[in-house]
Amino acid sequence: VALSPTAPMAAWGANWNGECEVPAGLANVVSIAAGSYHSLMLLSDGTVASGGADWYGQAAIPEGLVDVVGVAAGGYHSLALKADGTVAAWGWNNNGQCDVPAGLLDVVAIAAGEYHSLALRADGTVAAWGANWSGQCDVPTGLGNVVAIDAGGEHNLALHSDGTVAAWGNNDNNACDVPEEV
């Protein structure tokens, strides 16, 4: 979510672990991301702030993390998209969700599911890594011309340049059944 750097920040809901507590004095926030129990805030200077639970280091911003242009928060892990098109990941890595694939470059967008991560490359292709028990990391063969991505707990969505949507992963509740009229 992109924000105006001067917009006041507010959060609400269950706050068992401080996930709704906006850090005091926080200003110049341009983007936000919410994980299961933690939050990330991208600041206009390319640094990241966080709040909430830090059980697995998901809210502990890596030292020296700068030049960030995007953030994504998963269940217990965090992602940052850097201006040079690379991805940084930290937090719980029980299923490889923080193991950014070697050679992953030219990334323009990121998304984080419960235990998996996604990256959209400038050429319109998608990379996925982490837990794959529901096929959420099995990027559909031939998936291309993608302009936006998002990740649910165990499924993913990709928006094609022609306005169509692809979905894959856990379909227990029809999460991957894209309506025909979309």
| pLDDT per residue as tens digits for the range 132-156 | 999 999 999 999 999 999 999 999 9
Q: Is the pLDDT of residue 130 over 60?
A: yes
- Check if the beta carbon of residue 119 is closer than 8 Å to that of residue 88: no
Instruction: For residue 23, name the pLDDT band (cuts at 50, 70, 90).
Output: confident
| pLDDT per residue as tens digits for the range 155-165 | 999 999 999 99
Burial of 66 (0-12, 13-18, 19+ CB in 10 A): exposed
| C-alpha neighbours within 13 Å on the C-beta side of residue 145 | 8
Report which of residues 31 and 5 the model is more confident about.
31
- Residue 66 and residue 80: Cα distance in Å, rounded? 10
Tell me how crowded residue 67 is: count the other CB atoms within 10 A of its CB. Answer: 13
| pLDDT per residue as tens digits for the range 83-123 | 999 999 999 999 999 999 999 999 999 999 999 999 999 99
Q: And the tokens for 133?
A: 């028990």
Q: What local confidence, expressed as pLDDT, does residue 137 receive?
A: 98
- Check if the beta carbon of residue 112 is closer than 8 Å to that of residue 78: yes
| pLDDT per residue as tens digits for the range 24-78 | 778 899 999 999 999 999 999 999 999 888 999 999 999 999 999 999 999 999 9
Phi, psi angle pair for 149, to nearest 5°:
-135, 155
